[in-house]
């Protein structure tokens, strides 16, 4: 019999994928929508590669999770390691196929680099000093996917990558907690991203303000009490905070309709995170 649907949803952190399409849309908006309506298909490619990375994460960490997070699908016995690896492989192939179909060789080149980064992160880089940088690179490449790799999207890609670096660094203390200095550094990064990205109109400012308040607020709580549960909450807020950040970057280009469409996922992602953890 196949794996239960609920276990598969938990394996790939399905609701957390709501934080992903905004990357591609932000890149597309910054580059003048090079793929037009095909951008929607590229968001599908992005989601597939994100889910692949989540499945790979649990496959690679299955022995550690048996000790630290036994409730996860693999250590709890609800999904076999072989199934998790198969899901990751199939999703990777699907993501690359969608990228090629929607954006041709330009998009495929970026998607292939993104997929390689995801696999390298989960199997090699995650536990090294290069782990946060690799995760940041993956998110930056996700933004560039929507732009076909054009330089016009580099500022948006670097902004998203900087935020990702801070959240990933903080996530390394989800189990054991941290000293106040770590969430303080993440809070400083959030404030910096908000200032750098916040040179836009009213809508962009409101969206980026939401990003700073929600993400920074949880990080400030973790500064005051850097226990593991507070760190996990700050990491979750940082993951969800990606959505108003992306929407703010999109709004800066004048594309207010796509910005609002991306922003609409923010409350939904927060509600669904109560059922399936994004971390």
- Give domain limits for the chain: 5-272
pLDDT at 279: 73
Q: Is 132 exposed, middle or buried (0-12, 13-18, 19+ CB in 10 A)?
A: buried
* Whole-angstrom distance, CA of residue 205 vs CA of residue 194: 9
Residue 2 — very low, low, confident or very high, per pLDDT cuts 50/70/90? low
Q: How far is CA 233 from CA 164, 210, 229, in A?
A: 15, 17, 6
Q: 185-233: per-residue pLDDT in tens?
A: 999 999 999 998 877 789 999 999 999 999 999 999 999 999 999 999 9
* Whole-angstrom distance, CA of residue 29 vs CA of residue 255: 7
The CA-based angle 180-183-186, given to 5 degrees, is 145
Q: Is 130 exposed, middle or buried (0-12, 13-18, 19+ CB in 10 A)?
A: middle
Residue 95: closest CA among 51, 158, 39, 157:
51
CATH no. for 5-272:
1.10.357.140
* Whole-angstrom distance, CA of residue 43 vs CA of residue 270: 20
E strand segments, the chain: none
- Count of H helices and E strands in the chain? 12, 0
The average confidence (pLDDT) of the chain is: 95
3-class DSSP state of 73: coil
Mean pLDDT of 111-119: 98
Cβ-based neighbours of 184, under 8 Å, separated by 6 or more = 219, 223
* Whole-angstrom distance, CA of residue 216 vs CA of residue 163: 11
Q: 15-42: per-residue pLDDT in tens?
A: 999 999 999 999 999 999 999 999 999 9
Q: 120-131: per-residue pLDDT in tens?
A: 999 999 999 999
């Amino acid at each position: 019999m196949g794996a239960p649907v609920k276990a598969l949803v938990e394996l790939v952190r399905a609701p957390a994928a709501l934080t992903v399409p905004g990357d591609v849309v932000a890149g597309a908006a910054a580059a003048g929508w090079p793929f037009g309506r095909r951008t929607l298909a590229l968001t599908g490619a992005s989601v597939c590669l994100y889910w692949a990375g989540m499945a790979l994460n649990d496959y690679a960490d299955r022995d550690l999770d048996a000790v630290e997070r036994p409730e996860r699908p693999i250590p709890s016995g609800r999904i076999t390691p072989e199934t998790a690896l198969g899901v990751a492989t199939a999703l990777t192939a699907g993501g690359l196929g969608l990228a090629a179909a929607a954006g041709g060789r330009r998009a495929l080149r970026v998607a292939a680099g993104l997929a390689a980064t995801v696999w390298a992160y989960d199997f090699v880089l995650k536990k090294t000093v290069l782990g946060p940088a690799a995760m940041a690179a993956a998110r930056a490449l996700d933004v560039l996917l929507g732009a076909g790799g054009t330089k016009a999207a580099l500022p948006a890609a670097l902004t998203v990558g900087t935020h990702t670096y801070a959240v990933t660094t903080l996530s390394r203390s989800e189990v054991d907690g941290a000293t106040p200095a770590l969430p303080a550094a993440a809070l400083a990064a959030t404030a910096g991203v908000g200032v750098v990205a916040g040179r836009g109109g009213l809508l962009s400012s409101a969206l980026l303000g939401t990003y700073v308040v929600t993400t920074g607020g949880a990080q400030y709580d973790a500064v005051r009490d850097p226990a593991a549960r507070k760190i996990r909450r700050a990491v979750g807020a940082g993951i969800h905070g990606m959505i108003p950040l992306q929407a703010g970057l999109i709004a800066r280009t004048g594309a207010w309709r796509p910005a609002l469409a991306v922003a609409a996922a923010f409350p939904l992602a927060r509600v669904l995170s109560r059922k399936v953890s994004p971390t």
